Amino acid sequence: MRVLMFGWEFPPHIAGGLGTASYGLTRGLAHNGVEVIFVVPKAYGDEDQRFARIVNASDVEALYSGEEYTNELWKKVSFIQINSNLVPYSSPEEFSTLGETAVKDGEKKIRTGDAWRERYNFSGTYGTNLMEEVGRYAMVAAQVARDLEGQFDVIHAHDWLTYYAGIAAKTVSGKPLVVHVHATEFDRSGENVNPTVYAIERAGMETADRVITVSNLTRNIAITKYGINPDKVVTVHNAVRFAENSDEKIQRGLDDKIVTFLGRITYQKGPDYFVEAAAKVLKRVSNVRFVMAGSGDMMHHVVRRVAQLGISDRFHFTGFLKGPEVNRMFAMSDVYVMPSVSEPFGISPLEAMKSNVPVIISKQSGVAEILSYALKVDYWDVDAMADAIYALITYPALARMFSHKGFEEVTGLKWDTAAAKVKKVYEDMVATH
């Protein structure tokens, strides 16, 4: 089985869980005998290519032809200028400056029917020209599908940024398409959905032969909010990879308990609920410190709230962490909290559990579907969250039980197993295509 896969990021250059999941899946697929060609907008040359062949879209000289791009797909691909920095799971505030400025050269050349070859230098980020890059990426994907004709059996596109790319590759090659839903616009923005992103997500799911969602929670959203046929939506839960340095020992240099929040500081992740729960815990015990590791649009709000509550001396902001820094943070932690308002899955609790850290997660997360040894609370119930934190830092036997049982549980959640399910989806598509 050979797969042409489109992603937006690949380790070590990642901004969140999307890149981590993509890498884990490619490793798992390789172990299941699946060959993966992984296309990213911008490759840096230091990506791990032991399990996937990396194609740098910025190196592809694509043929742009007005006659080729007059079908319905390309009418949907508009080049839009966005004047704010976006991340895959961004907030309503980060979408607020969405503009509708067309990119002149692209539209003129498509309309006039001219044909020309050109490389497009993608930024590989979530910056000011994100939607332009999404459209360009689709055109490059069509060229990649032509260049690799006969070298792949299935197309796999990760999240909305690559859905048009997957559709383009399917249009050119006729091969079956699976889109992988790691998050939806309803997760990022609640009910204030961005219509442009929603339209891309719906087009991708409708065009796909199969839709893979990372949880039953997300599967239900795909069916009810996007009108997708339930028969073609399959849930494959994410997993966790045990790195070689997962047993690293860290000298903390203090006796206080450490409770950690690690993720983007945005509405979706519930950082404000973590702060409120922290204040309640500190009214009962003093030998505890709270760490918020990450960055995001709610940072200033959270810092102000910490100051208002008078807990600044017990609260620490590390900024964005990556790679070994994340491992060290987990190694220093006594409790990990993920209070997400809406979390399609949530890999970070699994990473904490593999570091023997007991975890508290919101019931509004996909990962709650598969974990038995995690304390689960409603994200909005800060009293219950505070009680759970207090119990884990106050009663050592309880913390040891959740640490030990949690480690055992997460050990069974392997990417090889998830990849085997994805491979079965591929085989079923090819058989019925």
In a domain, 144, yes or no: yes
In a domain, 344, yes or no: yes
174 and 45: one domain?
yes
What is the rounded average pLDDT for all residues in the chain?
Answer: 86
Q: Which of 138, 106, 125, 130 is nearest to 207 (CA)?
A: 138
Q: Percentage of the chain surpassing pLDDT 70?
A: 86
Expressed as residue numbers, the domain containing 328 is 257-411
Residues 11 and 115: their CA atoms lie apart, in Å, by 35
215 and 353: one domain?
no
Give the model confidence (pLDDT) of 163-196 as tens digits.
999 999 999 999 999 999 999 999 888 778 899 9
Q: What is the mean pLDDT of residues 77-103?
A: 37
Dihedral-angle region of residue 310 (phi above 0 means left; psi in -120 to 50 means alpha; beta otherwise) = left
Q: What is the mean pLDDT of residues 319-331?
A: 88
Give the model confidence (pLDDT) of 197-243 as tens digits.
999 999 999 999 999 999 999 999 999 999 999 999 999 999 988 76
85 and 217: one domain?
yes
Confidence of residue 129 (pLDDT cuts 50, 70, 90): confident
332 and 393: one domain?
yes
117 and 234: one domain?
yes
Which residues touch 30 (CB under 8 Å, ≥6 apart)?
36, 50, 51, 52
- Residue type at 349 in one-letter notation: P
In a domain, 250, yes or no: no
97 and 59: one domain?
yes
Q: Would you say residue 68 has pLDDT above 50?
A: no
Q: Would you say residue 103 has pLDDT above 60?
A: no
In a domain, 10, yes or no: yes
Residues 18 and 347: their CA atoms lie apart, in Å, by 10
In a domain, 49, yes or no: yes
Residues 5 and 25: their CA atoms lie apart, in Å, by 11
The b-or-e profile of 239-273 (16+ CB within 10 A means b, else e) is: bbbeeeeeeeeeeeeeeebbbbbbbbbbbbbbbbb
Q: Would you say residue 249 has pLDDT above 80?
A: no
78 and 95: one domain?
yes
In a domain, 124, yes or no: yes
Give the model confidence (pLDDT) of 356-384 as tens digits.
999 999 999 999 999 999 999 999 999 99
Any idea what the CATH number is for the domain that residue 82 is in? 3.40.50.2000
Q: What is the mean pLDDT of residues 83-104?
A: 37
In a domain, 78, yes or no: yes
φ, ψ dihedrals at 80, nearest 5°: -125, 135
Q: Would you say residue 112 has pLDDT above 80?
A: no
400 and 310: one domain?
yes
In a domain, 248, yes or no: no
- Residue type at 390 in one-letter notation: Y
Q: What is the mean pLDDT of residues 317-331?
A: 89
74 and 99: one domain?
yes
- Residue type at 277 in one-letter notation: A
215 and 84: one domain?
yes
Give the model confidence (pLDDT) of 12-65 as tens digits.
887 767 888 999 999 999 999 999 999 999 999 898 899 999 999 999 987 665
Count how many domains the chain has. Answer: 2
89 and 116: one domain?
yes
90 and 203: one domain?
yes
